[in-house]
Structure formats: structure tokens, C-alpha cells
Amino acid sequence: MTSGSTSAPGALAAGSPTVPVPPGVSRVAAIDCGTNSIRLLVADVDPAAGTLVDLDRRMEVVRLGQGVDRTGRLAPEALARTLDAARRYAGVITELGATRTRFVATSATRDAENRDEFVAGVLDALGVEPEVVSGEEEAALSFRGATSTVAALRPGPYVVVDLGGGSTELVLGTATPDAAYSMDVGCVRMTERHLRSDQPTAEEEAAARADVRAALDDAARVVPLGRAATLVGLAGSVTTVTAHALGLAQYDRDRINGAVLSVEQVLAACDDLLHRTRAERASLGFMHPGRVDVIGAGALVWSEVVRRVRDDVAAAGGSLTDVVTSEHDILDGIAWSIA
């Protein structure tokens, strides 16, 4: 793929932005298109000062990865939902006057035989060619986004976990990544593969946990999880579990970002969400409607990751007692990469 990190032509050529651009600042647009959601960040980045200021950060659940684990193809209706959202994002980018746009596509698109249809559709909608990045590049971008804020508050080395719809990235590092691995494990993939009942049966749960544990065994051969001083979780499944653990009545990004929870709090919240019915999950005030049917699998994956990192740290002679949640993630990493 050629880089999408270029000034957007055609419909995205910015005129006078509705919000003035401060001197010395780059106004950029970052788009992350995953298996479950497509997200946009328009931000002012000052590389000299090391600051990133949000102008607009939004998310739509489009379920691009609908059925990809089974069929190997992007479904026509999933493509249509995603490209409709991309066209709406084009209007926001134009209005705010971002001069550089980077569109990153991840797990579902990597796996799809017909991803060229997706690439052509995005190019038409945004005037920017999407980059279908590798799991390792996705991990590096997530690490940069998360540690841009966590590093000032918590010691490294960090294990950063980006738990998505189709894949989960694990990255170990301090200032920069030392090791990274992308597992084909995520909330949508595990729901479609295993958790088909409402509520999941014991057999379904056991099969899903075995799948995740096998993937973590492979990951641990590449990423030495036992070296972690701080475990950081990113993305919608993790932030939703955190909202539940905090007992929030509504989703509150400021309360969730930087939240430090004990391992026991995380595991209890995961277990509760996994075993609720769909109706019970839908009734929770912080629950995005697009996550209701997949959050059980997301919670299961997160619980297995947290347990594995805790146990590997203990086996290495250390102690991991808590987990940090970050709302700064791959979007921030994409924005930094083009500023």
C-alpha cells in the first residue's frame, strides 16, 4: 500500500477552517478502521512542545468484520456501513481544516480477500488511500499513543494491550517497543467463533478461554510479558470493562482515562459482564449499543490477558497488582506519526 499520509485531494482540500490553526501547529486527521468500529481524531499537534490537542474525536460501530472469520470476505452491507461513515468523516475533516490525513485499517481488512473493494471505496469517499497495516505496525502505533500520556505517571517497562474486534496487539517497551505480537483474538471474532448463546454456555466459555490461552502462549514466546512493570489496556472492550468496574452510570471518558484498577476489580467486572444476558448488558448506562453483543467476549479476552500478565510477572519474581486504562491509543499514535 502507498501511504495515506498525504494532503487529502479533491473534496478534502481544506479552505478556511472553522477553528483557527495556532502558529507552529500541524492540524491532522487520524482514522482507525477496525473490525468493530471506525474512529476519527482531528487534532492540533505541536511536535516541538510535545502536545496533542483534540478538536474532534468520534466513533461509529460499523462492524466491518461481520462474518470475516467465517467467510474470509467483507460483507457488502458491512462495506456500505463503513463507507457511509467515511463520507461523514470527510465532512468533519473539511470543516476543521486538517491538512494531512492518515487512514489505517487493521484486522478485518488484513484478513479479507476482497479488501481492494474497501480500498477503492475509501479512496473515493475521502481522497486518501487507506493503509492496511500489519499487526506489528498496529501495535507500534497503539504503544506510541498510550505511552504518550501514561509514561509521565507510571514506570516502565510497559505491556500495552490493544484489544480490538478481530485482533489483540501486545507490545512491551519503555521509550519505544522492544517486542510486539498480534493475536487473531478479539471481541467480534470470539463472539462469532464461540459465544453464540445468551448467556454463554459453560462449553462455549471453556472453548473461548482455551482459544485465547493458546494465542497467549504463542504471544509470550515473542513478548516477554513477565518484564512488565505497568500493564496498560486500550480500546472499547477495555474501557467498557473499566466503566463497569468504576460503577459509572454513564460513559465518562475523563473518569476512564488513566483509571487504575486492582487486578481483582478487573477480573470481577469481566466475569460479571460475561455472564449477564444481552438485555442486562444493554440496560447499563455506559454501554454503547454497538458493543452489547460482543462485550462478553471482550471481557473474557481481557480477563485472560490480565491473568496471564500477572502470572508471568509473578513467575519472574515481580508483582503486578493493578492495571491502567488509557483512552489514548492508536488514534493518537496515527496523529503523532503524521505531525
C-alpha cell at 227: 518484564
- C-alpha distances in angstroms, 78 versus 41, 62, 70, 84, 92? 22, 7, 14, 10, 22
- DSSP-derived pairing of the beta strands 260-262 and 322-325: antiparallel
Per-residue pLDDT of the chain (339 residues; tens, 9 = 90+): 333 333 333 334 445 677 788 788 889 999 999 888 899 999 999 887 778 899 999 989 898 888 877 788 888 999 999 999 999 999 999 999 999 999 998 766 777 788 888 889 999 999 998 888 877 788 888 888 888 778 778 888 999 999 988 889 899 999 888 999 989 899 988 898 899 898 899 999 999 999 999 999 999 999 999 999 999 999 889 999 999 999 999 999 999 999 999 999 999 999 999 999 999 999 999 999 889 999 999 999 999 999 999 999 999 999 999 999 998 888 998 998 887
pLDDT, one tens digit per residue, over 84-94 is 999 999 999 99
Q: Using CB atoms within 10 Å of the CB of residue 53, give its burial: 0 to 12 exposed, 13 to 18 middle, 19+ buried.
A: exposed
C-alpha cell at 3: 501511504
Q: Three-state SS for 178?
A: strand
C-alpha cell at 187: 471481541
| CA angle in degrees (0–180, nearest 5) for 154-54-183 | 55
Distance, CA of 248 to CA of 224 (rounded, Å): 34
Predicted confidence at residue 84, as pLDDT, reads 94
Distance, CA of 285 to CA of 282 (rounded, Å): 8
pLDDT, one tens digit per residue, over 277-298 is 999 999 999 999 889 999 999 9
Predicted confidence at residue 108, as pLDDT, reads 67
Question: What's the full length of the chain, in residues?
Answer: 339
134, 121, 126: which is closest to 102 by C-alpha? 126
- DSSP-derived pairing of the beta strands 51-61 and 100-105: unpaired
The number of beta carbons lying within 10 Å of the beta carbon of residue 13 is 11
pTM score of the predicted model: 0.80
CA torsion sign, 186 to 192 to 196 to 202? negative
316 close to 222: Cβ distance less than 8 angstroms: no
Distance, CA of 165 to CA of 207 (rounded, Å): 18
208, 186, 184, 211: which is closest to 197 by C-alpha? 208
